[in-house]
């Protein structure tokens, strides 16, 4: 299991001289479920790409279990951190669904029965087990996105990062993503998600990190981040609390960021 530490992380894109991440300190413990939220362009995707070495800091450090990631190659980091892109078409290239999912674990040296079972389990987790022979581009956009998730799942990395996993998913697709995260959590893996879906975030994560202009402005449980006194800060990074939180506040029920919390509060008030 891997603890992640970001220390005074700064990333400046040379094109346009944009400070996408502007001094972030963050510790994520092994097995945590963390959601990163914030307005478009607030630095969320840039931040997580440092965790698997796709981007290297302009200044500051990234530590994996105390070891500076600068000392590791992207291939080495890929053993511990799996990242699923927002756009699956940046990731998919193989001729069949099965070959696509096999590619990652094969590259990690996994073979034979172990490879077969890793691939089977990943396909089943996203509901693509009957599509193993299908060409990925015969799948619709939402199932290609689930395929991209399966190919990273099959690598069984201790850290799983999902960039906007629910976009374009119908209700069942969102449910699949939820159960994949739940299962990874049960196995003790760290799950980091970037999302604009506040209900998904409040329901599935113990910790929510809020970003604005390359900085972290809030970091805590959903009950804290979506509580009424934080709404102005959410608004400053173009976010809004889930409807259940707004209703709970209007009814004087305290912080109810999930449907379940709101309904329970209503029931107990009678």
Intra-chain end-to-end CA distance of the chain, in Å: 45
Give the distance from CA 17 to its chain's centroid: 27
Binding mask 6-35 for other proteins (x = CB under 8 A): -------x-xx-x-----------------
CA–CA distance, 171 with 7 (Å, rounded to integer): 38
Q: Which is nearer to other proteins, 103 or 238 (CB)?
A: 238
CA atoms within 13 A on the CB side of 9: 31
> Does residue 54 bind other proteins (CB under 8 A)?
no
Identify the CA nearest to 196 among candidates 231, 244, 234.
234
User: Can you read off the two tokens belonging to residue 94?
Assistant: 């193989």
Q: Which of 58, 72, 86, 228 binds other proteins (CB under 8 A)?
A: 86
**Chain centroid to CA 57: how far?**
20
- Closer CB to other proteins, 224 or 266, in the complex: 266
Q: How many residues bind other proteins (CB under 8 A)?
A: 49
Minimum separation from the CB atom of position 8 to other proteins (A): 22
Q: How many alpha carbons lie under 13 Å from residue 165 in its C-beta half-sphere?
A: 32
Task: Check residue 91 for interaction with other proteins (CB under 8 A).
Answer: no
Residues 151-190 that bind other proteins (CB under 8 A): 164, 167-174
When asked if residue 45 is in the footprint of other proteins (CB under 8 A), the reply is yes
Count of residues making up the chain? 270
Among 81, 118, 191, 262, binds other proteins (CB under 8 A): 262
- CA 59, distance to chain mean position in Å, is 24
Site track for other proteins across 211-240, x = CB under 8 A: ------------------------x-xxxx
Q: Is 265 helix (H, G, I), strand (E, B) or coil?
A: helix
- Would you call 137 exposed, middle or buried from its count of C-beta atoms within 10 A (0-12, 13-18, 19+)? exposed
Draw the binding track, 107-146, toward other proteins (x: CB under 8 A; -: no contact). Answer: ---------------------------------xxxx---
Binding site for other proteins (CB under 8 A): 13, 15-16, 18, 38-41, 45, 86-87, 89, 140-143, 164, 167-174, 196-200, 235, 237-247, 250-251, 259, 262-263, 266-267
């Amino acid at each position: 299991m891997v603890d992640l530490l970001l220390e005074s992380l700064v990333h400046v894109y040379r094109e346009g001289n944009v400070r996408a991440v502007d001094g972030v300190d963050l510790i994520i413990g092994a097995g945590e479920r963390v959601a990163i939220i914030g307005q478009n362009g607030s630095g969320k995707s840039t931040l997580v790409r440092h965790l698997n070495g796709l981007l290297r800091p302009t200044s500051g450090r990234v530590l994996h279990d105390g070891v500076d990631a600068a000392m590791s190659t992207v291939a080495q980091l890929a053993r511990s951190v799996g990242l699923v892109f927002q756009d699956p078409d940046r990731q998919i290239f193989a001729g069949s669904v099965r070959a696509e999912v096999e590619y990652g674990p094969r590259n990690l040296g996994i073979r034979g029965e172990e490879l077969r079972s890793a691939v089977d389990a990943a396909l089943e987790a996203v509901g693509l087990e009957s599509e193993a022979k299908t060409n990925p581009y015969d799948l619709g956009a939402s199932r290609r996105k689930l395929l991209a998730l399966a190919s990273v799942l099959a690598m069984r990395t201790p850290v799983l990062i999902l960039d906007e996993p629910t976009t374009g998913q119908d209700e069942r697709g969102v449910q699949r993503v939820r159960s994949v995260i739940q299962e990874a959590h049960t196995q003790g893996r760290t799950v980091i998600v970037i999302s604009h879906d506040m209900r998904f975030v409040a329901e599935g994560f113990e910790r929510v990190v809020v970003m604005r202009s390359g900085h972290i402005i809030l970091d805590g449980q959903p009950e804290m981040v979506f509580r009424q006194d934080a709404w102005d800060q959410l608004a400053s990074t173009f976010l809004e609390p889930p409807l259940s939180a707004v209703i709970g506040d209007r009814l004087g029920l305290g912080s109810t960021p999930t449907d379940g919390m709101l309904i329970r509060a209503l029931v107990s008030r009678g």
